[in-house]
Homo-oligomer: A and B are copies of this chain.
Amino acid sequence: MRRRLDVAYDGTEFSGWAAQPGRRTVQGEVQTALTTVLRLPAAAVTCAGRTDAGVHARGQVCHVDVPDTVQPADVRRRLAGVLPADVRVRAVSVAADGFDARFSALWRRYAYRVCDDPAALDPLRRRHVLAWPRPLDVHQMNTAARPLTGEHDFAAFCRRREGATTIRTLLDLCWERDRDGLAVARVVADAFCHSMVRGLVGALLSVGEGRRDAAWPAAVLAAGRRDPSVRVVAAHGLSLEEVGYPAPGELAVRAEQARAVRTLPS
């Protein structure tokens, strides 16, 4: 039986999501905890967003397949007792038919948090907020962000991986000041390629501080290849906040569509 897990973590001391031999990873910790709590020889956990080293998550979604004979009570509480304090499985539920944490997802929403007055940065938030030494013009950054939304080849902002497409649909990219005065980017896409959010944010920060004009990020996008003058900002400002799924009846169809697209040659 497939279970859905809603997971949060402080990425500071993880080498990212994906299990790697000899490294401390979120996937590794969650899989180890599940094998302990469910008394299984192994557990393979699939997630919606394979976050890089140092990236946090408040709304990561995963699935794991568990034999029908295993029906333990109170898995959530028991996982909390076994997991280290920097990762929490906040909810455990029986997955709807056809649910695949990765392929059923319609969109991923990330937040990137920046403090452009580093002397005032709340020390309790320093592990998940980027300190930026110059003041940012959020209005200019939003002007620059607008033409980036929609379906495009984001190769200019991604680290290329052999044979993978870099065409994505950016559904939302906008900045606002939160109540503490931080500049927070809301970034939503059907999916992201490697380092895409951090490349987009880096380009927009160059606009926000006045080093580039508002038309520059769209010109970089149109050029269609990795631009070395686009800074990829630090991982610790980034957090996976939420993953969106279709209604239960459409989970399987969506997963089939997404699988077909991702496995096309680029």
Number of copies: 2
Given A85-B126, A124-B127, A128-B124: A119 and B80 interface contact (C-beta under 8 Å): yes
Are A119 and B88 in contact (CB-based, < 8 A)?
yes
List A residues 108-134 near B (Cβ within 8 Å). 118-124, 126-128
A binding-site residues for B, Cβ under 8 Å: 8-10, 56, 58, 76-77, 79-80, 85-91, 118-124, 126-128, 239
Q: List 22 A-B contacts (CB under 8 A).
A: A8-B123, A9-B123, A10-B126, A56-B123, A58-B122, A58-B124, A76-B119, A77-B119, A79-B119, A80-B118, A86-B123, A86-B126, A87-B123, A88-B121, A88-B122, A88-B123, A90-B119, A90-B120, A91-B120, A124-B127, A124-B128, A124-B239
- A119 shortest CB reach to chain B, Å: 4
Q: Which residues of chain B have C-beta atoms less than 8 A from A90's C-beta?
A: 119-120
Q: How far is the CA of A85 from the CA of B119 in the complex (A)?
A: 10
Nearest B residue to A7 via CB reads B123
Beta-carbon nearest neighbor of A121 in chain B? B88
Q: Would you call A120 and B88 a contact (CB within 8 A)? A: yes
Minimum-distance CB pairs A-B, first 3:
A80-B119, A10-B123, A90-B120
Nearest residue, chain B, Cβ from A122: B8
Q: How far does the alpha carbon of A218 sit from the alpha carbon of B128 in the complex, in Å?
A: 41
A69 vs B167: C-alpha distance when bound (angstroms): 62
The distance in angstroms between the C-alpha atoms of A219 and B91, with both chains bound, is: 40
Closest CB in chain B relative to A189 CB, distance in Å:
23
